[in-house]
């Protein structure tokens, strides 16, 4: 799959909701032309960056590309690319600042659960498995560059497995990685978003639990969004339900691929196409509307009120006395509210995956005074090709770019340090400087 194929559909959805104020006065045609030119330039820069050796060098090349062009259309599109790579190297605050979508009240949205009365906040980790008992398919979405929006899915998998779900499908997994199931962990060749450690942990967790992991991404050279959605649904049907009509399936996808009704990019969503191929009941869970933005002005007004009233420390959903969940939009069944983000030593604490992992302090001594330095932790029982369980970027002078708030983890310490978030177990740490040179390796035990 090419980068253009991935971004063409997602980008259409995001650009429309993110048009800069100074672009509104332009004609729609002029703005679309600027977007098209910006996408061409962004794709070329991304391909050039990918020629660099190692994630760190690729990320720095992307940072420079963003600094060299401050036009709104380019910043919007290329910011999305930079955000992906920022999440890949564990720089989640930058990933959020580089590309974010302001959440506003839309026509047709349901009234707030606080205003309706009768709804009670419940921990999402408890409520969602209980809701899922009556469904054959659970659909979970995410904002691809916002790792928080997939953090809940990882611990949910064990609870859904306990409910009898045995298939797990994830967007942009590559069917060409035929060894994924037997190997038990994702590699660089497993997919696109799997490069990000939390996404990799999601796939790894599904494999360890015993799920049959399904690649369902469209493989045809499709330029029509509806055709992509239809092919994704067809792959799911052929690889799951045609062989096992009573299969119980968990699907991870981006944004509105999982809406159950309404027009999606001029056609139907993957979920709608799948519903036409099977009679399976579907629970659709939106995780992309109610999360904290870098600036509170980007938060949905319902989110702000809910945080002030409930003060949650874990993801929550609202359920009424009859067991019916609340959703912001009718096309979904449930909306998840994530708590405000908390940073410790400049890393978000949601990296604990809501109790599965703990912070492990790591010194930059292994960087051998070569900065910026990327520290990666891989499970000792996995190969060196495995996607890291977590990555930490250390620098003595932050990599800066001319966009507000974007800078890597800098430090005034002579030897910087930071936290890796890890489950109990044995890990192989690597300390890599630019040029993909490993300066140091060591084994650690996390109790």
Task: Answer yes or no: is pLDDT of 409 > 50.
Answer: no
Q: What angle do CA 356, 358, 363 make, to 5 degrees?
A: 150
Residue 317 to residues 31, 40, 239, 303, 326, Cα–Cα distance (Å): 38, 40, 32, 12, 7
Q: Is the pLDDT of residue 315 over 60?
A: yes
Of the listed ranges 77-81, 119-123, 399-403, the one predicted with least confidence: 399-403
Percentage of the residues of the chain whose pLDDT score is greater than 90:
81
Is the pLDDT score of 408 beyond 90? no
Stronger pLDDT, 229 or 397, i.e. the higher one: 229
**Both tokens of residue 221?**
């050279």
User: Lowest mean pLDDT: which of 264-268, 280-284, 301-305, 413-417?
Assistant: 413-417
DSSP state, 238?
I
H/E element, 149? helix 148-151
pLDDT category, 25, cuts 50, 70, 90?
A: low
Q: What are phi and psi for residue 322, nearest 5 degrees?
A: -95, 5
Give, as one character, the DSSP assignment of residue 330: T
Of 7-16, 320-329, 415-424, which range is least confident?
Answer: 7-16
Q: What is the model's pLDDT at position 436?
A: 87
3-state secondary structure of 428: strand
Q: Which helix (H) or strand (E) holds 157?
A: helix 153-162
Q: How far is CA 355 from CA 8, 314, 350, in A?
A: 36, 10, 9
Model pLDDT, residue 7: 40
pLDDT-derived band at 13, boundaries 50, 70, 90: very low
Cα–Cα distance, 417 to 420 (Å, whole number): 10
| Residue 91 confidence (pLDDT) | 95
pLDDT tens for 360-373 read: 999 999 999 999 99
Quickly count: other Cβ atoms within 10 Å of residue 37's Cβ.
Answer: 14
Q: Which structure tokens are listed for 157?
A: 């998998």
* Whole-angstrom Cα Rg for the chain: 21
Of 413 and 104, the structure prediction assigns the larger pLDDT to 104
Is the overall model pTM greater than 0.75, yes or no? yes
Average pLDDT value over all residues in the chain: 91
**b/e burial code for range 70-97 (CB count within 10 A of at least 16 → b):** eebbbbbbbbbbbbbbbbbbbbbbbbbb
Q: Is the pLDDT of residue 12 over 90?
A: no
Residue 315: closest CA among 161, 174, 150, 432: 150
Exposure string of 144-158, with b = 16+ CB inside 10 Å and e = fewer, is bbbbbbbbbbbbbbe
Confidence (pLDDT) at 407: 52
């Amino acid at each position: 799959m090419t980068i253009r194929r991935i971004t063409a559909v997602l980008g259409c959805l995001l650009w429309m909701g993110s048009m800069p104020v100074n672009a509104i006065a332009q004609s729609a045609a002029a703005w679309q032309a600027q977007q098209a030119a910006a996408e061409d330039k962004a794709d070329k820069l991304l391909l050039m960056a990918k020629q660099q050796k190692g994630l760190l060098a690729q990320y720095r090349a992307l940072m420079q590309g963003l600094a060299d062009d401050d036009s709104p259309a380019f910043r919007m599109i290329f910011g999305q690319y930079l955000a992906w790579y920022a999440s890949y190297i564990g720089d989640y605050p930058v990933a959020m600042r580089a590309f974010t979508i302001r959440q506003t009240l839309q026509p047709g949205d349901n009234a707030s659960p606080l205003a309706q009365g009768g709804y009670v906040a419940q921990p999402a980790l408890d409520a969602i498995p209980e809701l899922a008992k009556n469904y054959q398919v659970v659909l979970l979405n995410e904002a691809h560059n916002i790792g928080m929006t997939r953090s809940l899915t990882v611990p949910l998998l064990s609870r859904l497995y306990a409910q009898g779900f045995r298939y797990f499908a994830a967007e942009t997994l590559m069917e060409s990685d035929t060894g994924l199931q037997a190997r038990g962990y994702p590699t660089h060749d497993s997919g696109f978003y799997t490069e990000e450690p939390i996404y990799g942990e999601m796939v790894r967790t599904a494999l360890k639990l015993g799920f049959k992991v399904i690649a369902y991404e469209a493989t045809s050279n499709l330029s029509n969004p509806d055709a992509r959605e239809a092919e994704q649904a067809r792959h799911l049907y052929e690889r799951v339900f045609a062989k096992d009509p009573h299969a119980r399936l968990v699907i991870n996808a981006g944004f509105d691929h999982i809406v159950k009704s309404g027009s999606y990019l001029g056609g139907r969503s993957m979920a709608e196409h799948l519903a036409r191929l099977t009679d399976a009941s579907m629970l659709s869970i939106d995780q992309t509307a109610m999360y904290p933005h870098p600036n509170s002005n980007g938060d949905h007004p319902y989110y702000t009120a809910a945080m002030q009233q409930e003060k949650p420390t874990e993801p929550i959903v609202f359920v009424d006395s009859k067991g019916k969940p609340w959703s912001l939009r009718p096309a979904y069944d449930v909306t998840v509210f994530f708590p405000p983000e908390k940073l410790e030593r400049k890393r978000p604490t949601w990296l604990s995956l809501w109790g599965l992992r703990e912070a492990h302090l790591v010194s930059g001594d292994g960087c051998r005074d070569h900065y910026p330095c990327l520290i990666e932790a891989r499970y000792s029982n996995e190969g060196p090709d495995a996607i890291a369980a977590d990555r930490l970027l250390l620098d003595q002078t932050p990599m800066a770019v001319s966009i507000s708030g974007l800078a890597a983890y800098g430090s005034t310490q002579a030897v910087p340090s930071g936290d890796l978030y890890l489950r109990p177990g044995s890990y192989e740490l690597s300390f890599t400087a630019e040029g993909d040179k490993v300066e140091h390796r060591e084994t650690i035990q996390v109790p």
